Amino acid sequence: MNKIRIVGGNKLTGEIKISGAKNSAVALIPAAILCDEDATIYNVPNISDIDALNEILEYLGAGVKRDGETIKIDSSSIVNKKIPKGISKKLRASYYFMSALLGKYKKVEMYFPGGCSIGARPIDQTLKGFKALGAKVKEDGDKYTITADELKGGYVYLDMPSVGATINTILVAAKAKGTTIIENAAKEPEIVNVATFLNNMGAKIVGAGTSQIKITGVDKLHKCVHEVIPDRIEAGTYIIAGALIGERLKISNIITEHVESLTSKLIEIGVKIEEGEDYVIVSRADNYKSTNIKTLGYPGYPTDLQQPITTLLTQCTGVSEIEETVYERRFQNVEYLNKMGAEIKINDNKAFIYGPTKLKGKSVTATDLRAGACLVLAGLIATGETIIDNVDHILRGYENIIKKLGDVGAEIELLDI
Ligand code: EPZ
């Protein structure tokens, strides 16, 4: 089993180049099967979630050519087969195949998706989107059989701005007959990246990135090339690393607007940040002030950076408060931060962080992807050695994290025990 060993205290200086966005790439790859010819996607991160999706593509008979960060997908010869439970459960994004196959073949059989255990994560809003377009959903335990005699444009008012439900409804609506309106849509940049990809194939999608999206179905989607946007959550994680122990640490190849909710918070705390065209330079400063954070959908503060910033809040003077409004179980990192010397109390969906506290290296566990990232950040500043186990969670979502941090001065290694 893989573990990560970190000896804390080294200043981080130099440049970290950000990879393509995991949460965009994992939607673009399934969306590619809607294309009646081949689709080429650039800047795809080399992480295990992508491998899992390529496994599904190959299982369906698609041609997948991977060359570094470029993937060429030819779906002209795919066959619509039931996707086995084991593959469906590997990641949350497997359910994008549910909508892509439904959109392409009007029938799909697969299982409830996997993903980090940070809450119940139902898919009721995705199913609501499918039904609004004329699909019938048969549930048998966690197996779903979804069919439609015809997919017709419909009206969907999402109960909450769900990223997955927004993308899934777009994928089914792209080739449906007529026009679909999604109200209360999620506005994440990854949704815009997916909509642009489909429009490059000839789809007719307007309003992605706003709370109302209109999709006019088309018959054919032709070949296209597209690029994954930079990963704003990876970028945010390393920007926080710079705030913790950076000395003019440059985080480059980013879209600064996508991390604004974080950088504005960091400036409030007292972090020194210089912003360029497609980069930021971050340095650790002294006397950080506590602050309050409430996680919201984009452009609010992202839930995926809630656990990473908790490490920084342990270094702020005073009591910081985090209100987690998106997931019901996203504080599993706190137990391990407290084991390292932090002072954090949880009350329902709020965490209270008393700082500053000195962190000491300990053996800890990554319970989910972003909790793991939080513990890596803690290891970078803790005195002594931190050993993190269960790190496959981390390797799913952060391309080359060991090399990226090692190259800027961290004493970090992957232990294959
Ligand atoms: C995407 O998950 C991301 N994952 C998550 O990132 C991210 O935290 C989340 O969006 C919110 O930004 C991928 O893109 C693969 P949601 P998704 O549907 O689409 C509830 C990471 O760390 N909900 O916006 O699953 C749900 O339970 C991961 O990279 C319903 O109740 O998120 C959650 O509480 C973690 N019914 C909230 O809405 C539904 O049908 C947000 O879920 C759908 C969602």
Residue 412 · residue 3 · CB < 8 Å: no
Q: Choosing from 35, 116, 224, 374, which is the catalytic residue?
A: 116
Q: Is the pLDDT of residue 151 over 90?
A: yes
- Going by CA atoms, what residue is nearest to atom 38 of ligand 1? 162
Query: Could you tell me if the CB of 159 is within 6 A of ligand 1?
Result: no
Pairwise CA distance, residues 180 & 204, whole Å = 11
18: Cβ contacts below 8 Å, ≥ 6 apart? 230, 231, 234, 235, 238, 251, 252, 253, 254
Instruction: Give the model's pLDDT for residue 120.
Output: 86
The mean-pLDDT minimum among 43-52, 84-93, 133-142 falls in 84-93
**C-beta of 396 in contact with ligand 1 (< 6 A):** no
Residue 184: helix, strand or coil by DSSP? coil
Going by C-alpha positions, the residue among 245, 226, 233 that lies closest to residue 401 is 233
Closest CA to 305 of 233, 256, 230: 233
CA-proximal residue: ligand 1, atom 18 (nearest): 162
If one residue of 160, 231, 332 were mutated to test the ligand 1 pocket, choosing by the most ligand atoms within 8 A of its CB, it would be 160
At which residue do the structure tokens 């769900």 appear?
Answer: 162
Find out whether 159 and 186 touch, Cβ atoms under 8 Å. Answer: no
Ligand 1 midpoint to CA 162 (Å): 6
Helix ranges (DSSP H) in 201-253: 232-245
Q: How far apart are CA 146 and CA 290, in angstroms?
A: 49
pLDDT digits (tens, 9 = 90+) for 182-194: 999 999 999 999 9
Residue 400 region by backbone torsions, left for phi larger than 0, else alpha for psi between -120 and 50, else beta = left
Q: Given pLDDT bands bounded at 50, 70 and 90, which one contains residue 56? A: very high
Active site residue 116: yes
- Cross-strand bridge partners of residue 224: 39
Residue 114 banded pLDDT, cuts 50, 70, 90:
confident
| Residue 73 in this model has a pLDDT that exceeds 90 | yes
Q: How far is the CA of 77 from the centre of ligand 1 (A)?
A: 32
Write down the pLDDT at residue 90. 85
State how far the Cα of 23 lies from the Cα of 176, in Å rounded to an integer.
Answer: 25
* Tens digits of residue pLDDT in 373-406: 999 999 999 999 999 999 999 999 999 999 999 9
326 phi and psi angles, rounded to 5 deg: -95, -45
Taken in order 105, 81, 110, 24, is the CA torsion positive or negative?
negative
126 Cβ below 6 A of ligand 1? yes
pTM comes to 0.97
Strand order in the sheet with 12-17: 12-17, 246-252, 279-283, 272-275
Q: What angle do CA 45, 47, 49 make, to 5 degrees?
A: 110
Q: Are strands 136-140 and 143-147 parallel, antiparallel or unpaired?
A: antiparallel
Q: Is 237 in the pocket of ligand 1 (CB under 6 A)?
A: no
- Residue 100, number of CB atoms within 10 A of its CB: 26
Strand partners, 416: 2
Look up the CATH number of domain 22-227: 3.65.10.10
pLDDT in the model for residue 405: 98
Ligand 1: distance of its center to the CA of 51 in Å?
21
The confidence score (pLDDT) of residue 406 equals: 98
| Atom 21 of ligand 1: nearest residue by CA position | 304
> Strand 12-17 vs strand 38-42: parallel, antiparallel, or unpaired?
unpaired
Beta strands in 209-269 (DSSP E): 212-216, 224-227, 246-252
Q: Is the CB of 74 under 6 A from ligand 1?
A: no
- pLDDT recorded at residue 378: 98
Q: Which are the contacts of 404, defined by CB distance < 8 A and separation ≥ 6?
A: 16, 17, 238, 398
- Find the 326 Cα to ligand 1 centroid distance in Å: 8
Using a pLDDT cut of 70, give the percent of the chain over it.
100
CB of 99 closer than 6 angstroms to any ligand 1 atom: no
CATH superfamily of this structure's domain 2-18+230-416: Enolpyruvate transferase domain (3.65.10.10)
* Backbone region of residue 341 per phi and psi (left: phi > 0; alpha: psi in -120 to 50; beta: other values): left
Question: Hey, which residues does 319 pair with through a beta bridge?
Answer: 354
Could you tell me if the CB of 23 is within 6 A of ligand 1?
yes
Q: Is 49 in the pocket of ligand 1 (CB under 6 A)?
A: no
Closest residue by CA, ligand 1 atom 30: 122
Return the sign of the alpha-carbon dihedral for residues 6, 9, 12, 13: negative
Domain ranges within the chain, ordered by starting residue: 2-18+230-416, 22-227
The predicted model gives 232-246 an average pLDDT of 98
Closest residue CA from atom 19 of ligand 1: 164
CA distances 356 to 96, 235, 315, 366, 368, Å, are 42, 24, 4, 23, 25
Q: Give the integer Cα–Cα distance in Å for 149 and 317.
A: 61
CB atoms within 10 A of CB 275: 15
Q: Which atom of ligand 1 is nearest to the CA of 116?
A: 35
Query: What values do phi and psi take at 354, rounded to 5?
Result: -95, 125
Exposed e or buried b per residue across 69-82, where buried means at least 16 C-beta atoms within 10 angstroms of its C-beta? bebbbbbeebebee
Do domains 2-18+230-416 and 22-227 share one topology? The answer is yes
| Model confidence pLDDT, tens digit, residues 1-41 | 799 999 999 999 999 999 999 999 999 999 999 998 999 99
CB of 128 closer than 6 A to ligand 1?
Answer: no
**Ligand 1 neighbourhood includes 38 CB (under 6 angstroms):** no
- Choosing from 89, 159, 162 the residue with most ligand 1 atoms within 8 A of its CB, the one to mutate for a pocket test is 162
